[in-house]
Amino acid sequence: MFLRKIPSGIRAVFPSYAKINLYLEILRRRRDGYHDIRTLFECIDLCDEISVRLRDDGVIKVSCGYPGVPQDEGNLAYRAADELFKLCGVRDKAGADISIRKNIPPGAGLGGGSGNAAAVILGLNRMAGLKLPFSKLYGIASSIGSDTAFFLHECPFGLGTGRGEKIKPLHRLDKLFFYHVLVFPSVSAPTPLTYREWDRKRSLRKKDVLTKSLNNVKIINSGYSRHVFPGYNGELFNGLESVAVDLYPEVRRVKESFARLGIEANAMSGSGSCVFAVVSSHREASNLARLISGMNRRWRVWTAGTALPRKQQHKEVGRWRSPK
């Protein structure tokens, strides 16, 4: 769509949610260097806050006070705005001031940057009245990051294939709600490094390392799990976890801490380093967060829940429990 006039000055604030991977299976390394995966995404209500103001001078500015987050073309939110305006043929005159208040730490496997990009794509499309079809938005999202397309669907659960960008929203799981405790051990886990280690161990034929999770626990009953993909039995699993615990000892320590507290249903999200637990109630989540916070003062600990479909989203978002 081509705009004759940019509606400069319009400002909007919207949430940018995190994700976790309830199931992550690495299938193979592709010729392009990426990996084919099969994953069950869950959108959770831990979120960043994105503020966007439209400009009519072609300038895109990103501001974020979180250490290490790029504030230039290296930021996925910047790339999202840039690609969207280019697609609409208005890159020379359309711009945006994008302010990001981070709650989702980078390098945690929670899709913070990808979620920011998706939020900007959806937000600008609505704010500027672009009315681009979903297929066009999807094209931008899938070119920016493997997780970005999932956030674009604004669904609680989705099946990801390809490198994660091919999404099948699982609307039959919309009534599912999970309570979580998330622990970020304050160690950033670069995705390429984790996958390179997976490749290395695969080449050594250490299949036991690549296929067995430290905690292989069912969290979804068969009535729901059959809607994910054929053969899925509802288990919590991450195929990268067994290599990540060797690369990042703090990940192992978090998992051992959950084990000492009797929490078997826990797994690493994505390529790490955040580890999450699945519990049965908000009260249990709050109590567990308090206990796990006391075990290591350097860890950041949140309670969170499944982010409901957009029209049902509630105001309460994920909270960072600061160690006392």
Taking alpha carbons only, the member of 139, 163, 129 closest to residue 30 is 163
36 catalytically annotated: no
User: Which residues neighbour 190 within 8 Å (Cβ) at sequence distance 6 or greater?
Assistant: 107, 271
Distances (CA, A) of 169 to 56, 260, 286: 36, 35, 30
Contact 46, 103 (CB under 8 A): yes
Indicate which residue of 19, 45, 48, 255 is catalytic: 19
Is 5 known to be catalytic? no
Contact 139, 122 (CB under 8 A): no
Residues 6+ positions from 79 with CB-CB distance below 8 Å: 73, 117, 144
Contacts of 288 (CB under 8 A, 6+ apart): 181, 261, 263, 277, 279
> Over the range 257-275, which residues count as b (16 or more CB within 10 Å of their CB) and which as e?
bbeeeebebbbbbbbbbbb
Active-site residue identified among 48, 82, 147, 255: 147
Q: Which residues are catalytic?
A: 19, 147
